[in-house]
Amino acid sequence: MLFGATILSLAAANRDCLIRDAETVPKLDLDACRPEPVSVPEKTAVLRSLPVDGAVTHFSTGERRKLDELDPMLCSQSRKGVYEIRIITVPQAWAGLHARAVLLISMPALVLLTSEELQALVAHEIGHEYVWQQYESARALKDAKRLRELELVCDAIAIASLRRIGVAPERLESATEKVFWYNRERLGVALNNRNYPSLKARRQLIKEMTNP
């Protein structure tokens, strides 16, 4: 299967992190795999390092609702209150996890995506915690192939996370495609585009995990 190698790479790092089912696609045991959250002193230091300006603090009713509806995802992964959520003004639709302590969401992403799509994007970012050191090592080595593999691992974790809160995995597909085309039409090809799997690969992963 397409994502088999990426799942196995995660298993190699921690062989107790997977539930194996001979009849279905392997499912991630998110509770067993979940890393310890950053400590309060670490989080405090990260927050102090962030720019004072640039965060959005005023939202429409719909935007506030989308942010509030992230709670089920954060709670299911024991990250409610662990992450500081900041909405930032950058041109691209984007979300990222900074130093495992700050969940950054761009204003275009907040506006563009539905509540469930935003949950899916956040679920992917939570997935990065599970492979944090592997990802940082691959980035330092400029290993684009490995980075693409790890992005698919994060997608797999996101799909498992979405299932836990009753959100269809297809929301990850629609969120990914909306963000991709929004950014491509406005900003062109990203400089780090080769570090990410193609939309086709991501669609195939979702198809395989939802239709074993």
Tell me how far apart the alpha carbons of residues 21 and 115 are, in angstroms, rounded to a whole number: 31
Q: How confident is the model at residue 212 (pLDDT cuts 50, 70, 90)?
A: low
* Residue linked to tokens 């974790």: 157
More confident residue, 177 or 8: 177
Quick: pLDDT tens for 3-43.
Answer: 444 444 443 444 445 433 222 234 557 787 788 999 999 99
What the block records as the tokens of 121 is 């994007």
Domain limits, the chain = 4-210
Q: How many CA atoms lie within 13 A of 74 on its CB side?
A: 18
Say if CB 160 and CB 129 are below 8 A apart. no
Quick: pLDDT tens for 73-129.
Answer: 999 999 999 999 999 999 999 999 999 999 999 999 999 999 999 999 999 999 999
Quick: pLDDT tens for 186-201.
Answer: 999 988 999 999 999 9
Is the pLDDT at 153 greater than 80, yes or no?
A: yes
In this structure, which long-range contacts are made by residues 32-40, counting pairs with CB atoms below 8 Å and at least 24 apart in sequence? 33/130, 34/77, 34/78, 34/129, 34/130, 35/100, 35/129, 35/130, 35/132, 37/78, 37/79, 37/82, 37/100, 38/82, 38/99, 38/100, 38/101
Q: What is the distance between the terminal CA atoms of the chain, rounded to a whole angstrom?
A: 10
Q: How confident is the model at residue 210 (pLDDT cuts 50, 70, 90)?
A: confident
